Amino acid sequence: MSTVGLIDAGGANLGSVRYALERLDVDVRMVREARDFDGIDRVILPGVGAAAEGMKRLHVQGLVEPLRQLQVPLIGICLGMQLLFERSEEGNTECLGLLPGIVRRLHPGVGVRVPHMGWNKLLALRESPLLEGVPVGSSAYFVHSYAAPVTSDTVAACHHGGLFTAVVQRGHLCGAQFHPERSAGPGARILRNFLEITTQ
């Protein structure tokens, strides 16, 4: 059984992500400092809140450079996914820079509320092991005001006043803008698929 490192970056979704992993019969180890990465086979970076505060917490814990050098599969969830990119407009925050692109605020409009909150459909754009076994047209549960752009690394997008990245993968780097731990069957399948991804 692989050991999953769950980064404790102060996110409100930490407990629900841990519970979702335990339902999948996963050995979970909390990561609060760099030495906690020892013996970890893959890493999950959850997060809820503001980009600046999330990055500040990672810096204080000494986790920024270890995350940038990580060679095992990594998935960011919600804010955790946004932190994988170069920068966020939220507080003009320098992020981890593992994926190209700038996270920008969603724009409200007629019938478009910000924050984007609730169930929305995933639009698959390319094949990825993350979507293996996820039915076409599946929905996921979102809660966010900022979003990453659609790039060549985008696996699935979502539409809320425009397209944004919902699932991303570049090699062993993965991300989900939604909350898989709150997205029923499709969310559980995406988490399980991540647990089975091997480094390329």
Rounded-to-integer distance, Cα 122 and Cα 160, Å = 11
Q: How buried is 111 (Cβ within 10 angstroms: 0-12 exposed, 13-18 middle, 19+ buried)?
A: exposed
Amino acid identity of 193? N
Residue of 86, 90, 179, 196 with catalytic role: 179
Residue of 160, 172, 181, 196 with catalytic role: 181
Residue of 78, 95, 158, 174 with catalytic role: 78
| Residue 179 annotated to the active site | yes
DSSP states of 15-79: HHHHHHHHHTT-EEEEE-SGGGGTT-SEEEE---S-HHHHHHHHHHTT-HHHHHH--S-EEEETH
Rounded-to-integer distance, Cα 15 and Cα 94, Å = 27
Q: Are the C-beta atoms of 145 and 115 separated by less than 8 Å?
A: yes
Rounded-to-integer distance, Cα 11 and Cα 52, Å = 13
Q: Which residue reads 């605020």 in tokens?
A: 105
| Residue 22 annotated to the active site | no
SS3 110: coil
| Residue 174 annotated to the active site | no
Catalytic residues: 78, 179, 181
